Structure 1
Amino acid sequence: MRRAPYEQPMTVDQLKGLLKKFDTNGDGKLSRKELKEALKSLHLRFAGLKAWSAIHHADVNKDGVISDEEINELAKHIFKWLKI
């Protein structure tokens, strides 16, 4: 797995902040498309597949989006891919 090119390690809280910036429609939730763009910005390979996997893992209520209540689990799941 490729390591993301960061000069300083990122914390889970910083990752959550970054993910929230990709809520382009401002509804307070992350769609799979928005998450895919966030993962691309982190230089992760197979961003579309990883977005699907992350939503499948973190979307507790199965509504297809990640709400504010689910973002902690999402960030922890993605953090493993970053290996930082």
Structure 2
Amino acid sequence: MPVYLSRTANFLLTEEQLKGLLKRYDINGDGRLSKKELQVAFRGLGLNFSGFRARRALQHADADNDGFITDEEMKELITYAAKWGFTVN
């Protein structure tokens, strides 16, 4: 499923490539993305209000409410991020 990063550039990424890009922000290497790691990732992707967006992303995509985005929750995070200008086809 292609993903367009229209906020930062006009190039096409697959969902797996975007997932890999987000995983690079797993600073402590625990396999999950924390609120702080999401904030840094969103800022790195050129999004404004990265702290607010990280908080909202966790509220939306963190199915087990543990405060982290796991591999299983990543698809929902990517779908949710599409609302911010990332087009997921």
Tell me whether the two structures share a fold, i.e. TM-score over 0.5.
yes
**Greater mean alpha carbon deviation, residues 74-83 or residues 60-69:** 74-83
Conserved 8 A contact 1:55-1:65: yes
Structure with the largest fraction of strand: 2
| Cα pair 1:39 1:51 within 8 Å, conserved | yes
Deviation at 1:71, TM superposition (A): 0.7
1:36 aligns with 2:27: no
Q: Which runs of 4+ in 1 moved over 6 A?
A: none
Instruction: Name the counterpart of 2:71.
Output: 68
SS in 2 for 1:10: strand
Q: CA deviation at 1:76?
A: 1.2
String of CA shifts for 1:25-64, please: whole Å, max 9, x gaps: 0000000000000000111110000000001000000001
**Structure 2 unaligned runs (5+)?**
1-5
More helix per residue: 1
CA-based RMSD of the aligned residues comes to: 1.3
Match runs of 1:1-84 below 5 Å: 3-84=6-87
Distance in 2, matches of 1:83 and 1:63, equals: 26
How much identity, in percent, do the aligned residues show?
Answer: 46
SS in structure 1 opposite 2:25? coil
Structure 1: gaps of 5 or more residues: none
Relative to the length of structure 2, the TM-score reads 0.83
